[in-house]
Amino acid sequence: MAVPYPDITGALIAGGRATRMGGVAKGLLRLDGRPLLARSLDLFGRLFGASLLVASDPLPYAAFDVPRVGDRLPGRGAPGGLHAALSVAPTPWVFAAGCDMPFLSAQGIALLAARRAGAMAVVPRWSGRLEPLHALWSRQALPALERALAEGDLSLQRLATLVAAVVVEPAAWCVVDPGGRAFLNANTPEEAARLGLERIP
């Protein structure tokens, strides 16, 4: 079956040791009985030409049928994860999202994809800040990201500015996601509980 965005790779950024979550791999948190990683990969499979997982420790995710890559520049946090995704993606575009985001939606992704023409990134703004880990990034942004990392700049929001990202403002985003649920994520057990997420037994 043809997908609507064959030129996009969906990349889930799993991050590091999840110390604030007590060491639990956040992509294994469950919503309605299913791991977040499985839910996101299902969505990506319906939308994109490829999917991948960026994880410094891929072992917790060994059961999932998805290409797994490690950070090529360890210790750079989320920018290092985006760098790895852009470095290996088989498509010209990457949709980068955190693996702990339960409410990704086809409608939100479609809004971003519709604004790609002539851009190196398309990034939503919500609650006064950019959301670079729910964003589309062109592989053409990779040199700028590598320069920023070499200079010690570990801010994806700064990178979005450097590449003159197209910004989707809240008024436009509210049409598809009035409460900004797509940007919610879980870094602590308390946040997971508020989002209705369960830890694996």
Domains of the chain: 5-194 (3.90.550.10)
CA distance 85 to 54: 7
50 contact partners, CB below 8 Å, separation of at least 6: 9, 10, 67, 89, 90, 91
Q: For residue 78, what pLDDT is reported?
A: 87
Mean pLDDT, all residues of the chain: 92
CA distance 101 to 22: 18
Which pLDDT tens digit goes with each residue over 63-87? 999 999 987 666 678 899 999 999 9
Q: For residue 17, what pLDDT is reported?
A: 56
For residues 98-111, give the mean pLDDT: 97
3 state DSSP class of 85: helix
Q: For residue 154, what pLDDT is reported?
A: 76
- Indicate if the pLDDT at residue 100 is higher than 80: yes
- Indicate if the pLDDT at residue 180 is higher than 60: yes
- Indicate if the pLDDT at residue 45 is higher than 70: yes
Q: Please tell me which residue, 158 or 75, carries the higher pLDDT value.
A: 158
For residues 6-28, give the mean pLDDT: 80
Which pLDDT tens digit goes with each residue over 137-151? 999 999 999 999 888
